[in-house]
A = this chain, B = another copy of it.
Amino acid sequence: MFRSTTASTTRASLAGQDVTDPLADFRGQFDLPEGILYLDGNSLGARPKAALAAAGRVLGPEWGHDLIKSWNTAGWFELPGRLGDKIAELIGAGKDTVVATDTTSANLFKVLAVALKLRPERRVIVSERENFPTDLYIAQGLSRFLGAGHELRVVDNPAALPAALRDDTAVLMLTHVNYRTGAMHDLAGLTRLAHECGALAVWDLAHSVGALPVGVVEAGADFAVGCTYKYLNGGPGAPAFLYAAPSHHNSIEQPLSGWWGHAAPFEFSPEYRPAKGIGRFLCGTQPILSMAVAECGIDLMLEAGIDRVRAKSIALTEAFISVVEERCAGLGLTLASPREPSLRGSQVSFHHDQAYAVMQALIARGVIGDYREPGLLRFGFTPLYTRYADAWDAAESLREVLATRVWDRPEFHQRNAVT
**Chain A interface (Cβ < 8 Å from any Cβ of B):** 31, 33, 36, 38, 40, 43-44, 46-47, 51-52, 55, 58-59, 62-72, 76-77, 102-106, 109, 113, 117, 129, 131, 133-134, 136-138, 140-142, 144-146, 154, 227, 229, 235-240, 253-262, 265-272, 283-291, 293, 363, 368, 370, 372-373, 416-419
Contact = CB atoms under 8 A, between A and B. Distances in A.
A289 B293 contact: yes
Given A137-B262, A272-B141, A373-B268, A289 B71 contact: no
Contact of A236 (B43, B70, B133): B70
Given A140-B272, A290-B289, A47 B59 contact: yes
Nearest to A79: B237
Contact of A287 (B141, B269, B287): B287
A347 to B, nearest CB: 14
A104 B259 CA distance: 11
A32 to B, nearest CB: 8
How many monomers of this chain does the complex have? 2
A141 B256 contact: yes
Interface-centre pick from A131, A272, A373 (highest chain B CB count, 10 A): A272
A129 B368 contact: no
A102 B102 contact: yes
Interface-centre pick from A38, A154, A253, A268 (highest chain B CB count, 10 A): A268
A281 to B, nearest CB: 12
Contacts of A269: 133
A330 B397 CA distance: 82
Given A43-B68, A68-B44, A145-B255, A106 B136 contact: no
A64 B255 contact: no
Given A59-B47, A253-B144, A129 B285 contact: no
B253 A71 contact: no
B262 A105 contact: no
B144 A284 contact: no
A320 B86 CA distance: 47
Contacts of A256: 105-106, 109, 138, 141
A156 B387 CA distance: 65
Nearest to A40: B68
B106 A289 contact: no
A39 to B, nearest CB: 10
B236 A63 contact: yes
A253 B43 contact: no
Contact of A59 (B55, B77, B134, B255): B55
B109 A416 contact: no
Given A72-B418, A104-B284, A270 B154 contact: yes
Given A63-B47, A284-B105, A255 B141 contact: yes
Contacts of A47: 59, 63-64
A37 B134 CA distance: 46
A374 B383 CA distance: 55
A65 B259 contact: no
Given A55-B59, A259-B133, A262-B137, A104 B270 contact: no
Contact of A284 (B66, B103, B284): B103
